[in-house]
Structure 1
Amino acid sequence: MTNVEKQLFASPRNHRYILTVTVIVVALFVWSCLVVSFKDVNESSLKIAGNIMKGLIHPDMDLLFNVTKQSVLYLLLETIAIAFLGTIVGAVLSVPLAFLAASNIVPKPVSWLTRLLLIVIRTIPALVYGLMFIRVSGPSPFAGVLTIGITSVGMLAKLYVDAIEELDTKVLESMTSIGCSTFEKIRYGILPQLLSVFMSVTIYRFDMNMREASILGLVGAGGIGAPMIFAMNSYRWNEVGSILIGLVVLILIIEFVSNKLRARLVKG
């Protein structure tokens, strides 16, 4: 037996704590199983499930690869544009809010009020924002951009605040002692410390916004979601299969690229 194993077995065991957690988890699992009802699953439901699988296996290839405005490729490009523009809007709005919420930059009351505003923004679901903006601008990709922008602010500003509050203030004190102006302190003292973190967080949020943009199409805020729900309501499962295949491939590509970019930013 190795030293690591000896230390592991020699460590004290809190059996009461382990037993309590186990009982709670098992009770929640049993309760969840009792709540789930399978009475609506009948022969027609199984047939629909079979048709869905058949549509995924045999997608509509013409819809997947043609270049019309109804094709999957065009709708995916529209979804990317919504997610990208929404992320840019959210990132731009988040920067001033993050500085106003940072307790080491502004007075505590201002920081507290700004944080409260960010909590309110994060509380409202994206679909609710989407429905509100659709009432303002009508069903369009612009409503999707506004929705993605506002929902991005809640998360981005919070993570930006964390980065700002971890700033190395010794650099700023040194720059003050040699007579640097406020602009010079921001340009050469603050931005170099924050830029890579802000970029990494923004790229991660764009990855999330791609999924958000796909869902927002369900309420008419542009993107690929609306054609997918129309195809599902019309039982055109081969079209649903084409849309899902295109969406999965796109998400995988963006996931791969965003991970590479974030890794490079961290190393840099």
Structure 2
Amino acid sequence: MNTIDQQLQKATNRRLPKFIITVIVLIIFLWSTSAVQLDNITENGFSIAKNILMGLVQPDTGLLFNLTTGGVLYLLLETMAIAFLGTIVGAVIAIPLAFLSASNIVPKPVAFVVRFLLIIIRTIPAIVYGLMFIRVTGQGPFTGVLTMSLISVGMLSKLYVDVIEELDTSVLESMESIGCTTMEKIRYGILPQLSALFTSIVIYRFDMNLRDAAILGIVGAGGIGAPLIFAMNAYRWPEVGSILIGLIVLILIVEYVSNKVRNKLVNG
């Protein structure tokens, strides 16, 4: 009975903090709605929305199944290639940075400095990186690859570190007791345990990069984004519909395959 009374007392004591948090969330929600302006919605806007939906229902099949370099299929393959290559490059670069960020592998001051650098990398949006790289390398797929690589480094390093720091350190302690160096501990004691998890994380990042690569095309970083924005600006909604349908189908296929592979890797 004393235990029940204690639980009831704890529940009573938690009511006030929960009430305060609820009120704060509601205030922030109401304040956030002030940014929503419905005055700009006009009949022309509803007409455009209708045309967009009609474009999805009646896409430009000639563009959708066009096998030339200007067709949807080729542009989707280019977008997927940008995302894939950028993910692989970023995944490789992220491995040493992740180990340098893990406080259970390197001294804490070193881990702090590298983590701070990675936080800075993750803070900048992908589209900003794309605009900066365009000034350096010009428009094209190479710009998209560089951007995908950089944003992948920031996020993959963070996810790698989370996995590394959850490792059983008894293996590392045993290797250290027999005089193994840091690189030997990483090579023989850590990487064999992490390969499946790292691969799963990389596949997940590729899934995200595929969406980002489509957006980066808008700023001239290659892929399907540029034709999409050009078609939208010219109000060619059947072309927009064909591009969106192709992009949706590609993302669904990649997501299905990546989920299957990730589940197999994690669950053995």
* TM-score, normalised relative to structure 2: 0.90
Partner of 1:191: 191
Read off the aligned partner of 2:11 and give its amino acid letter. Answer: P
| CA shift digits 1:140-179 (9 cap, x unpaired) | 1000000000001111011111222222232233345567
Cα gap change, 1:187 to 1:35, in 2 (>3 Å): closer
Partner of 1:113: 113
Partner of 1:4: none
Cα gap change, 1:177 to 1:246, in 2 (>3 Å): same
User: Among the aligned pairs, what percent are the same residue?
Assistant: 66
| CA shift digits 1:31-75 (9 cap, x unpaired) | 333432222222211211111111111111111112011111101
Read off the aligned partner of 1:146 and give its amino acid letter. Answer: L
**Cα distance, 1:251 vs structure 2:** 0.8
Partner of 1:221: 221
Answer with 13-22 or 198-207: which moved more: 13-22
**Cα distance, 1:89 vs structure 2:** 0.8
Q: Distance in 1 between matches of 2:225 and 2:35?
A: 30
Partner of 2:82: 82
Q: Distance in 1 between matches of 2:8 and 2:57?
A: 51
Q: Distance in 2 between matches of 1:16 and 1:168?
A: 40
Answer with 184-193 or 174-183: which moved more: 174-183
Partner of 2:104: 104
Partner of 1:167: 167
Partner of 1:65: 65
| RMSD between superposed Cα atoms in Å | 2.1
Answer with 249-258 or 81-90: which moved more: 249-258
Q: Mind listing any 5+ residue stretches in structure 2 that lack a counterpart?
A: 1-6
Answer with 254-263 or 159-168: which moved more: 159-168
Matched ranges for 1:13-32 at <5 A:
13=12, 14-32=14-32
| CA shift digits 1:187-240 (9 cap, x unpaired) | 432211111111111111011001110100010000111000000000000000
Q: Mind listing any 5+ residue stretches in structure 1 that lack a counterpart?
A: 1-7
Partner of 1:12: 11
Q: Distance in 2 between matches of 1:135 and 1:76?
A: 24
Cα gap change, 1:27 to 1:66, in 2 (>3 Å): same
Secondary structure at the counterpart of residue 205 of structure 1 = helix
**Cα distance, 1:262 vs structure 2:** 1.0
Answer with 128-137 or 178-187: which moved more: 178-187
Q: Distance in 1 between matches of 2:240 and 2:53?
A: 10
**Cα distance, 1:78 vs structure 2:** 0.3
Answer with 159-168 or 210-219: which moved more: 159-168
Partner of 2:145: 145
Partner of 2:4: none
Q: Distance in 2 between matches of 1:65 and 1:112?
A: 51
Q: Distance in 1 between matches of 2:113 and 2:29?
A: 40
| CA shift digits 1:71-128 (9 cap, x unpaired) | 1110100000000000011001101111111112222221111111101100111011
**Cα distance, 1:180 vs structure 2:** 6.3
Partner of 1:207: 207
Answer with 81-90 or 247-256: which moved more: 247-256
Partner of 1:248: 248
Q: Distance in 2 between matches of 1:183 and 1:112?
A: 20
Cα gap change, 1:73 to 1:9, in 2 (>3 Å): farther
Alignment of 1:55 onto 2:61: no
Q: Distance in 1 between matches of 2:39 and 2:206?
A: 40
Partner of 1:3: none
Cα gap change, 1:174 to 1:226, in 2 (>3 Å): same
Answer with 170-179 or 208-217: which moved more: 170-179
Q: Distance in 2 between matches of 1:46 and 1:74?
A: 32
Secondary structure at the counterpart of residue 33 of structure 1 = helix
